[in-house]
Amino acid sequence: MSKTPKDRRYAKTHEWVMKLDDGTVAIGISDHAQATLGDLVFVETPAAGRELKAGESCAVVESVKAASDVYAPIAGEVTEVNGKLVDQPELLNQDPYGEGWLWKMKPAVADDLGKLLDAAAYTSSIAES
């Protein structure tokens, strides 16, 4: 059974978004997503400064058996990317909600997270699929 912490919101496409104290948000992929992909060997993140639209394909996670796009769950500007993933893509498998974060962004609309799923809704969405 995969973990789905309640302190953040989720997109149906398996990204999570968590509000940070400085007004930015951190983005990653869910435990369910990393488990489904298998051992990750490469992660490509968007460049800092890039403006993303909600739903835009902006990152790639590559495992030994598949390469998947990661979509921006909300619109905003990329402020920071997780540089550790270049040499340690396995962080995404080991700690998807912590060390394995993908990028941080400044939301274009302050409270855009409301449109996303809460933990319970995400859990039931992956149960259905």
Partner 1 sequence: MPFIPHTEADIREMLDVIGAPSTEALFDEIPEALRCKGLQHVPERLSEMEVARLMRGRAAQDGTLLNFCGAGAYEHHIPAAVWEITTRGEFYTAYTPYQAEASQGTLQLLYEYQSMMCALTGMDVSNASMYDGASALAEALLMAVRVNSSNGPKRVLMPASVHPFYRSTVEAITAAQGIELVPLAFDPQQGRSLASALQVHEGDEFTAVVIQQPNFFGVLEESDMLTDWAHARGALVVAVVNPLSLALLKPPGEWGNEGAGIVCGDGQPLGVPLSSGGPYFGFLTCRQKFVRQMPGRIVGCTVDLDGKPGYTLTLQAREQHIRRSKATSNICTNQGLLVTAATIHMALLGPQGLERAAAQSVANTQTLVERLSALPGVTPVFTGDRFHEAVLKLPRPVNEVLAALAEHGILGGYDLTRHYPQLGAALLVCATETRTHGDIEHYAVTLAHIL
Each residue 52-91 as x (binds partner 1 by CB under 8 A) or -, in order, gives ----------x---xx-x----------------------
Q: Which is nearer to partner 1, 26 or 72 (CB)?
A: 72
Sign of the torsion formed by the C-alpha atoms of 86, 59, 73 and 108:
positive
Sequence-separated (6 or more) residues with CB below 8 Å from residue 9: 16, 17, 18, 73, 113, 116, 117, 118
Subset of 5-34 contacting partner 1 (CB under 8 A) = none
CA-to-CA distance for 29 and 10, rounded, in angstroms?
Answer: 9
What would you measure as the largest C-alpha separation in the chain, in angstroms? Answer: 37
Q: Which is nearer to partner 1, 1 or 47 (CB)?
A: 47
**Applying CB under 8 A, which of residues 2, 42, 53, 84 lies at the interface with partner 1?**
42
Binding stretches for partner 1 (CB under 8 A)? 42, 44, 47, 62, 66-67, 69
